[in-house]
Structure 1
């Protein structure tokens, strides 16, 4: 067992975060996700939207929840990483499971206090997210199928992202910012399609590396590519459903679909390698950024 002096723990956690939870990726994603979902929910109701203090609480909460889940994943994947990723921090001892669990406990306290100060509903919603993450850790430990089969694993793990989106939308409803209606599920489906497009893109390739749990291994490269492109189309369909009544300007964010179309064509034409990830990353950023701008400028 590795013993670490308490004064060294913050620096070790900081190095872990910088390597395994790159702020320019995860913080940017969490920020855009919350702003896009909140802004779209408010704008869809016909109300002008501007970020508020509550918005930034939601942003901080989502980013910290993503960090909690990343720390949990590091522990869940330890056996796999010992074989296939021996340079990971938990494998090398750069961080310990005890340190990660301590940080997770601190995150739980922080998000509970932040949200409980505003609404008991908000606190319960974010605790449901963290609780589901812990449930998944147990499920993967007792179920080799969930751990080893990528599609089954995705079916089990993705609801945690839906719960996180549900936290943002539920918080808006609980505070009276929006009224719950059919547009809420449609916007959550939109965000799900955007993230799942990227998730499938990063695990779709003509040849999977040894030990990789790719969706293209289970579905075949062409079918996985069709699903990847179809998820981007689903995101566009959700936008049309919610924002078509606002006219052509309301549908401008749909133009981001050009990126997955290019990715699909390039992947099939190449016949080797993986899905061109810049197009998938660009689709996430362009869609969310355009949703934020639309919420600010319209109606």
Structure 2
């Protein structure tokens, strides 16, 4: 009993070290914050409502942060066999954290997001939980269909919807609260966010070389085709912005200037012809786009 109690007392510190290493707060929290603010602010202003972040906004931000942490913990367990071969320094492989500890943390996260969202609306609870349940379904699905791991593009097609479900949670929560009225503009706004994320996702897995076990999209498409897809998602984001905001005047299109970052990234990648995509441009595109969407929603009518 004493040994167990001592070991249990170490779990929070072990989880803290895991989070700092595998889910850096300055990245995960910043992404969730900017994503939710950009999506919520744009949805409200498109619907003609004045918008400022509210208490409900911060519940949505915390819920998305916790959901992303839940999914990261899930991926660590799902990828354990692969990591033992290709990433032997990962916390779960080295024993710095255990699967049981991660599952306990995931259960706690589920309880917290359920309680938080129950305070907003009974509709919000299933909206956030469906994203977590979908994530949980991926592990048995990969065991039944190994091609999902062996074929990166197929794996992305199956795994990506969890991000889309989180976007639907934020938008659906706004609809449930009466902040916005659901219409086709909501679908275009979610497509905008999807294009921004997928630009980053393809950028981080596009390189001229393909190390064993890397699972790069460029190893399937070839570097130049991967560049076209990566740039295409950035162009798709700009197109969605134009469709949504062009009628509101030229100032409403200022977030489109973030597309200069993917343009620079594309030119640099093609000019250097070795190594990976310059991730500072892809990360910057995500951050600047969502930040610009949020600021525009607070500044422009």
- What's the TM-score once normalised by structure 2's chain length? 0.97
Q: Distance in 2 between matches of 1:117 and 1:293?
A: 27
The runs of 5 or more residues in structure 1 that have no matched partner are none
> Which residue matches 2:128?
126
Q: Distance in 1 between matches of 2:274 and 2:5?
A: 46
Q: What SS does the corresponding residue of 1:126 show, helix, strand or coil?
A: helix
> Which residue matches 1:213?
215
**1:73 pairs with one of 75, 90, 94:** 75
Equivalent residues in 2 for 1:182-261, closer than 5 Å: 182-261=184-263
> Which residue matches 2:279?
277
**1:61 pairs with one of 48, 60, 63:** 63
Q: Distance in 2 between matches of 1:274 and 1:4?
A: 45
Distance 1:220 1:4, change over 3 A: farther
Q: Deviations over 1:91-114 (max 9, x none)?
A: 000000000000000000000011
Q: Deviations over 1:49-108 (max 9, x none)?
A: 100000000000000000000000000000000000000000000000000000000000
Q: Distance in 2 between matches of 1:19 and 1:281?
A: 18
Q: What SS does the corresponding residue of 1:120 show, helix, strand or coil?
A: coil
> Which residue matches 1:148?
150
> Which residue matches 2:114?
112
Distance 1:215 1:16, change over 3 A: same
CA RMSD of aligned residues (A): 1.2
**1:165 pairs with one of 164, 167, 171:** 167
Aligned residues: 298
**2:49 pairs with one of 47, 50, 66:** 47
> Which residue matches 2:176?
174
> Which residue matches 1:268?
270
Q: Distance in 1 between matches of 2:20 and 2:160?
A: 24
Q: Distance in 2 between matches of 1:4 and 1:242?
A: 56
C-alpha contact 1:48 1:298 (8 A) present in aligned 2: no
Q: Distance in 1 between matches of 2:142 and 2:37?
A: 32
State the Cα distance separating 1:121 from its structure 2 match. 0.8
State the Cα distance separating 1:4 from its structure 2 match. 7.5
Q: Distance in 1 between matches of 2:274 and 2:68?
A: 32
State the Cα distance separating 1:46 from its structure 2 match. 2.0
Q: Distance in 1 between matches of 2:69 and 2:293?
A: 24
**1:286 pairs with one of 262, 285, 288:** 288
